[in-house]
Amino acid sequence: MKRIFLYVLLATLVATVYGCGKGAEQRAEAPKTDDSVLEKQPEVHGTEVTEVKLSTPLDPAMVKAGNEVYDLKCSACHKLDGPRLVGPSWKGLTTKRKPEWIINMITNVDMMLAEDAEAQKLLEECLVRMPNQNVSADEARNILEFMRKNDGVK
């Protein structure tokens, strides 16, 4: 009886080691995505927000409200500067992306991940899909103002 148990245990161990090893080899051989195809696609800004009028100077009330939303809904995944946490860092975001793109990414993440090449590239880098936080258009506009302040806009 002990011999049978040992044979079964040994067979299970061998199958587990062999199976894990094969999986690692297959993952190592996975093809890389061709970013040049993504770079040639135009940005999609969504249909919900098609134009954003930025204010200069920054509206302090909007910045404060955006900071509060960031603290409540965004800070667990996004840092204001430095390396990414779960999602990408917000440092320099307003200089890289148009305001419409940022607002639609915040308010309509599912559409952006389905249609926008840059959003898809971010998903590949971060490996975690941004959840829908049910951020209203007004809250998203406040977040944008907070992001602009974070990037040094006065």
Say yes or no: 123 and 56 in one domain: yes
pTM: 0.69
Say yes or no: 15 and 69 in one domain: no
Q: What residue numbers bound the domain in which 43 lies? A: 35-150
pLDDT tens-digit readout, 15-56: 555 555 444 444 444 445 454 544 454 555 455 677 888 888
Say yes or no: 56 and 10 in one domain: no
Say yes or no: 102 and 26 in one domain: no
Give the CA angle between residues 144, 149, 154 to the nearest 5°: 125
Please tell me the distance from the alpha carbon of residue 66 to that of residue 138, in angstroms, as a whole number: 9
User: In 51-92, where does DSSP find H-type helix?
Assistant: 60-69
Please tell me the distance from the alpha carbon of residue 109 to that of residue 103, in angstroms, as a whole number: 9
User: What is the count of structural domains for the chain?
Assistant: 2
Say yes or no: 121 and 140 in one domain: yes
Say yes or no: 21 and 62 in one domain: no
- Kindly compute the dihedral angle of the four CA atoms of residues 99, 102, 106, 111, in this order, to the nearest 10 degrees: 110
Give the model's pLDDT for residue 24: 43
Say yes or no: 101 and 137 in one domain: yes
Count of C-beta atoms within a 10 Å radius of residue 17: 10
pLDDT tens-digit readout, 55-64: 889 999 999 9
Q: Quick one: what percent of the chain has pLDDT higher than 70?
A: 69
DSSP string across 30-42 = PPPP-HHHHHHSP
Say yes or no: 98 and 52 in one domain: yes
Say yes or no: 5 and 39 in one domain: no
Mean pLDDT, rounded, for 96-115? 94
Is the model's pLDDT at 102 over the cut of 60? yes
Is the model's pLDDT at 118 over the cut of 60? yes
Give the model's pLDDT for residue 38: 46
